[in-house]
Structures are given as structure tokens and as C-alpha cells.
A and B are shown apart, each in its own frame.
Chain A
Amino acid sequence: MKTVKIDARGMHYTPLNQKIRAAVADGAEEIILDNILGQRFIGDGLRGNVRIIVNGVPGGDLGMFMSGPTCIVHGNAEHAPGNTMDKGMLVIHGSAGDAVAHSMRGGKVFIKNNIGYRGGIHMKQYDVEARPILVVGGTAHSFLGEYMAGGLVLVLGIGKDKAMTDRGIGSGIHGGEIILRGEVDDFLLGVGAKKFKFTESDLERIAPTIKNFCEQFGYDPAEFLDTNYTKIGPASSRPFASKYVWE
């Protein structure tokens, strides 16, 4: 495997991304970024199948518009990793800020610990391949999956009493599903969101995702392969259809 190492100490994000692009063009299969400290936009708009290892804490919009690569972060991530991402995978060995996976339309974002507000907001789906997946090991703040239009958000609540304790889950959701470990209090649901029974067939569908997530962080998937989940989806696929009358 062709590996390229880049020492990012004190480096601005533009030259850093230029180096990453040059390495990809040069046929690198793995790129190791050392001493990352707050550089934004890592892997922004990047294509290909490269694997990027980030050692440190990247800045906002990690993997924005990314289409293909895998990016593994040994640290926390800032605002909106996976923003409008198309394809590929982000694996964060830590927590991430607000608007994680914002408008994402394909690929996977796996967060080991917690995320901030508006996780999975406006995620959308087109076709079977373009189905975004966000998995959070810990918990998430308010407005999880707000305006969601497709894809899957899964919150496992590892080490917590309850997977979610913040409100506004799925407000304005009109497609896709939010699956939360255990029971969820009704008052946490946002406007337009509805609880559904989590069935064996749901489990069958998400089992590969659970296994995939556990593989990344060394968890035993057996712990999570039961039907102790709550599924939240849209009460209607046309949440605003009844709000308007024409002139």
C-alpha cells in the first residue's frame, strides 16, 4: 500500500488540501496527517478511494462535499463533519460539534462519543446507493434529524441511561428514519415526528450498520443486536401540505 505522511504542524488548510490532492493524484492509498490542529475543510470535495488518517483535532466541515474517501480521526471533530457529503466514510474516535452530517446524501459518518445540536439535519436520500448513514455511539443534543428527508440516523447511547434526553427529535422530518437505543419519551419528539415500533425486520436492515460501527471502535456487536430500539419517522411525507391555500 502506498502511504504518504504529511506533517501539518502550523500549516494552513489550503496548502494542506493541495498536498492531499497531490498525493491522491500520485496514487497514494493511505495518507497520514500528523499534528492536525484546527485545520478546516480537510478532504473538502475530495474524490477517490484513499484512506486518510487524521492524528489530532480537525477544524470545521471535515469531509465536506467529499465523494469517496475514508477519513479516520484520532481525536474529536469540530462543526459539521460530513457536511453535504456524497460518498465515503468518516470515523471519529471522539465527539463532534453541531450540524454533523448536515444535508449529507450518501456515505457514512460514525462518531464514537457524542455530537452537538442539529445532527443529521436535512439528510436526504436518492436511490438506494445514495442513502446516508449517521451513527452516534453516545448521545446527541436537540434537533437531531431535523428536516430530515432520507437516510438513517442511529444513536446507541453507550454508557448513558438514555440514548436521548434532548428535545426536538426529527422536527419537520419528511423522509428517512431516526433509530434510538431503548425507549424515548414522547415529549422529546419534534413537530411532525412520530414513533414507530422497531421490528425484527428493522433489525435485519440495520444490523450490517451496527456491525460496521462496532468494527470501527472495537465493540462487540452482539450487545446491540436486539429489538430494544425506538424508530422515529415522519408523521407525513408532506408535512406542510396542509398549511397553505392558494391565492
Chain B
Amino acid sequence: MTLGSVPSKFKVSIDRDQCMDCGRCIENCSYGVYRREGDKILIESRKCTGCLRCVAMCPRDAITLTEKPIDYRSHPLWTREVREDIIKQARSGKIILSGMGNARDLPVVYDRLLLDACQVTNPSIDPLREPMELRTYIGKKPSKLNFRKTESGDVELETKLAPNLKLNTPIMIGHMSFGAISLNAQLSMAKAVTELGTYMGTGEGGLHRDLYPYQDHMVVQVASGRFGVNIDYLERGAAIEIKIGQGAKPGIGGHLPGEKVNEEVSRTRMIPVGSDAISPAPHHDIYSIEDLVQLIRSLKEATEWKKPVFVKIAAVHNVAPIAAGIARSSADAVVIDGFRGGTGAAPKVFRDNVGIPIEVAIASVDQKLREQGVRNEISIIASGGIRSSADLAKSIALGADAVNIGTAALVALGCRVCGNCYRNLCPWGIATQRPELVSRLDPERGAVQVSNLIKGWTYELSELMGAAGINSIESLRGNRDRLRGYMLDEEMLKILDVLPAGA
């Protein structure tokens, strides 16, 4: 091997004065960094992924982990990453796969948007004292309402309302499939959303029978591979989502490697054990917007028009006209996934280079739908890199009805964003199907953590709204006047329809 090895990504060391030799680091590290030889714990730093499981479990804080202990000669263009990718491809001649979301250091638009607060001229609202209306309905709204007077003189609604999802907080959990993540991870989130009165997605992995008790809070997904999809599955879900695209890998399909297809995954996806689960790039019954309408209607017809149907697309250059087309189909909501969205596995070149930021996509989709007079009829759900209640509030002010979180929910379960989800070795029991690792995640405790996170964000959202003198989420939605851009260029401000700070 003339290329030799590249520098190790992490350097792990144990402070031997602190260490009590309990062996927990050995037990906890599924990547095999630690091993015992005689009376010594040996360390193989090269195997470390930075998942921090050992650091979290060491009772003595004896472990030190340094990132990039040896780096290359610094160079602004030929970065470490660029050089290592070339070395990898020179060795293999293959496509580089990666995990989690976009890892490039690109400017984050959320961080250049600032929220407003009241001073003197109008009072802020104290959410402890005043009710804050955060309830959000996702689904089609009628363009107008017709009423009828009954004989007794009462007024009755004549317009037939389409089914909507009722959310107690505008935060849902996005689609992460059983197979990509563990059943305990799904169970933790399902318990949390059920308790909180919100929803989560099944992903394209079918609905495991242990999740049936939470089915009224699950959005079932229909993707191009149609895994796990049958009439029973469609009827169980609270809503159905057609996945066209995903922010982490717009334009391409998915691929669950055969190693992850064990007995349970196979049963839930309805494919043989050990077989690759390949989702093609397009749905092969959708080659046009008319075909999309047909798929939406086929799902509604199958479930007797009782379920809202969402369409999820990746945020790409033409996202606004595409969303407008979707709004004109029979879809009840459009889900837009920005280029920072996470994934179990995606070609690195896609993860890091394809798609546009969710902030811009929300603004342009909202704008386009308003121009066309249909914004009030369809909901917008935004996802892809939402990290905090501030990102949530800004998303809503830019025009979203609700957000989907993914990575944030996993971090609440222990994930340290190490990006090695594809290896089936996740030491936190999240992105793995190995029973000994999955059992590390207790769904009861996991549910509390996820629910705490969503509760915390919901409190913060009420506070942010109260500070801005807003007591209803409806008044925040699309209210770009409560946003100011900081260090954003003129063109960007125009697209976001936001004034610069100070204006």
C-alpha cells in the first residue's frame, strides 16, 4: 500500500492517576478502542469515532480525547478533508458515503436572523400569566366557509372540513426509519410525541408492531421503495407522507445495506432477511406532477379520504414552483427538507453540495404560495438542521406552520453526532440493530429526554412570542416584520423578505 495510512482523527488517552481500572470504557466502546492486556488498558486511538460514550461513562473523568492530534500542513484550499477524500478514492475508485447532515462550514442563515421584542410602545406579554396559543393544525383549510341556518335558528357549518392533524406545539419529529435507527429509539420518540400531543414519522421502514399503541401519533411514509406499505399500514397512520426527496441527498434514492436487515427489520419492511433495501431515485409511478396527484389521490381513496397526505421534497433551486405544484395537487401539506438535513447514509458529495438552506426555501415557498393565493389552503412543514427554539421561531416567522426535528431528537437520546450511523455500532443504541447496544437505550427514559427537549423549546417559544407581544402562533407565522437580517447581503434579504438590522 504505497499510500500508507492517514493521520488518526482522534487521540484518546487515560490519566492513569485518575483511572480506577473499572473497565467501563472497554465495555462501552463498541468500536473496540480499548482492550485489556495483562493489568493494563491499552488504547487504539485510530478506531475512535468521537462518539464520547467512554467519556460519558467514565466515573473518574479520566479520559481525554483530542481531535486531529496530528494534522497536515495547513492549506486553505487543500484541506485535510479534501486530501483524505482523494486518498480514499485513489485507493478504492468508489463513491464516498457519509452519515449525518452536511458537515461543511457554510454560513448558517438562522444565525444571521435576529428576532424582535417589545419596548415601551407596545407591551410584551408574560406567558406565565397570559395564555399562549401554540396549537397548530396541519392540513388543508377551506378557502372559505359556508354556514346554514337551521330551523331552530342555530348556525351550522356547511363546508366539509378536510382532516387535519392537531399539534399542541409546532414541533414534530421527522422520519427516521426502523432499520436506520433502533426500535428503542423509535419507541422513545413515539412515547414522547404521544404524551405531548404531537407527531413523528415512521420513515420508509414500515411500522413495527410495538409502535401500534402510538399509531395515532405517527405519520406513515410512502417512499419509492414502498417498504412496509400495505393497506393496514396506511390505515394505522394519523397521516401519510409521500417522500419524494430528502435534504441530505436530493435527487437520489436510499439504500439500507443487507447487514442491517435482520429478522425484525425484514418483517417490518416486508422483505427477506439480509436483502438490500433499495429505494430508487424516483417513484416509478410518478414521472410528472399529474402522476403525483394520482398517487396522492390513490392514498386518499384507499383510506377513504380520512387521512391528510403530505408530500416531502428536498429544498432545491426550484423549490418554490415545485411546492406550488404540490399545493395545487390534492396534498394537505408540503414538507421541505433543507440541505442540512441528517441521514443514516448519503454520498458525501450530495450531503455536502446539493440543495439549498431551509431558511431560504421556507421564505420562497411561503412567498410563492401567497402570490398564488393558496398559502392559506396548505400547510408548510420545514426541516433540515433545526437546532433550537430560536431556529423554530425564525422558521415560523419566515412562513412555516411547523417544523420537523431529527438530529436534535437523537441528541436528546444520547447521540453525539459522530457521523458513524451506517456502521451498525452506535454505542448509544440509536443507529444500530445489535441487541446488546439497542438495550442501552431505555425507551422510558429516552421518552422523558425527548419530551423534555420539546417541552423546553415550547416554553422558550412562548417566551420569545410573549416578548414580541404575540400571543398566538398564527400571528407569528409568516410575520417577517419580527425578523431582521444581520450581515446578510441585499439579494438574500430580498429573497427572505426581511429588512436589515437597524431598518
Chain A contacts to B: CB under 8 angstroms: 13-14, 17-18, 21, 40-41, 44-45, 47, 60-61, 64-67, 79-80, 83-84, 86, 99, 102-103, 105, 118, 121-122, 124-126, 130, 146-147, 149-150, 172, 174-175, 237-247
Contacts and interface: CB of A to CB of B under 8 A. Distances in A.
Contacts of B234: 45, 65
B284 A79 contact: no
Interface in B214-229: 224-226, 229
B239 to A, nearest CB: 16
Nearest to B88: A245
Q: Which of A41, A47, A65 has the most CB of B within 10 A?
A: A65
Interface stretch (B269-277, B320-328, B374-382): B269-277
Contacts of A105: 226, 230, 270
Contacts of A45: 231, 234-235, 301-303
Given A60-B294, A83-B285, A246-B97, A122 B348 contact: no
B70 to A, nearest CB: 19
Interface in B57-100: 88-89, 91-92, 94-99
Given A14-B305, A245-B94, A99 B285 contact: yes
B278 interface: yes
Nearest to B93: A245
Contacts of B302: 41, 44-45, 64-65
18 contacts: A18-B304, A41-B298, A45-B301, A61-B285, A61-B294, A64-B302, A65-B229, A67-B232, A83-B298, A103-B225, A124-B271, A126-B267, A146-B284, A150-B275, A172-B280, A237-B274, A244-B96, A247-B348
Contact of A44 (B232, B280, B301): B301
A14 B95 contact: no
A77 to B, nearest CB: 14
A12 to B, nearest CB: 11
Nearest to B286: A99
B298 A103 contact: no
- 8 smallest beta-carbon distances between A and B, as pairs: A45-B302, A103-B226, A247-B98, A245-B94, A126-B270, A245-B92, A45-B231, A41-B301
A45 B278 CA distance: 24
Contact of B280 (A17, A83, A122, A245): A122
A99 B285 CA distance: 6
B271 A245 contact: no
Contacts of B301: 13-14, 17, 40-41, 44-45
Contacts of B226: 84, 103, 105, 122, 124
B225 A125 contact: no
B455 interface: no
Given A40-B294, A237-B274, 16 more contacts: A61-B298, A65-B230, A79-B294, A86-B231, A105-B230, A125-B272, A126-B267, A130-B270, A150-B271, A243-B94, A244-B95, A245-B88, A247-B88, A247-B98, A247-B348, A247-B419
B284 A126 contact: no
Contacts of B231: 45, 47, 65-67, 86
B276 A241 contact: yes
Contact of B422 (A60, A239, A246): A246
Given A64-B302, A65-B302, A83-B285, A175 B272 contact: yes
Contact of A149 (B98, B275, B348): B275
Q: Taking chain A's interface residues, is the majority helix, strand, or loop, or is none over half, making it mixed?
A: loop
A65 B284 contact: no
Which of under 10, 10 to 19, 20 to 34, or 35 or more describes the interface residues of B? Answer: 35 or more
A150 B96 contact: no
A244 B348 CA distance: 10
A121 B297 CA distance: 21
B186 interface: no
B258 interface: yes
Contacts of A103: 225-226, 229
B97 A244 contact: yes
Nearest to A64: B298
Contacts of A126: 266-267, 270-272
Contacts of B258: 237-238, 241
A124 B270 contact: yes
Interface in B189-244: 224-226, 229-232, 234-235
B272 A174 contact: no
B257 interface: yes
Interface string B289-331: 0000010011001111100000000000000000000000000
Q: Which of A64, A125, A150 has the most CB of B within 10 A?
A: A64
A14 B298 CA distance: 10
B255 interface: yes
Nearest to A80: B285
Contact of A40 (B270, B285, B297): B297
A81 B59 CA distance: 62
B376 to A, nearest CB: 25
A58 to B, nearest CB: 13
Contacts of A243: 94-95
B276 A67 contact: no
B80 to A, nearest CB: 13
Nearest to A175: B275
A67 B97 contact: no
Interface in B413-456: 419, 422-423
A246 B305 CA distance: 43
Interface string B26-41: 0000000000000000
A239 B96 contact: no
A150 B421 CA distance: 28
A121 B284 contact: yes
Contacts of B305: 14
Contacts of B225: 103, 122
Given A80-B285, A83-B285, A174 B294 contact: no
A102 B97 contact: no
Nearest to B269: A126
A166 to B, nearest CB: 16
Contacts of A13: 301
Contacts of B266: 126
Contacts of A238: 257-258, 276
B117 to A, nearest CB: 42
B92 A174 contact: no
Given A84-B226, A103-B226, A41 B275 contact: no
Nearest to A174: B276
Contacts of B270: 105, 124, 126, 130
A44 B231 CA distance: 9
A185 B267 CA distance: 37
Nearest to A238: B276
B284 A239 contact: no
Given A118-B284, A237-B258, A240-B255, A149 B230 contact: no
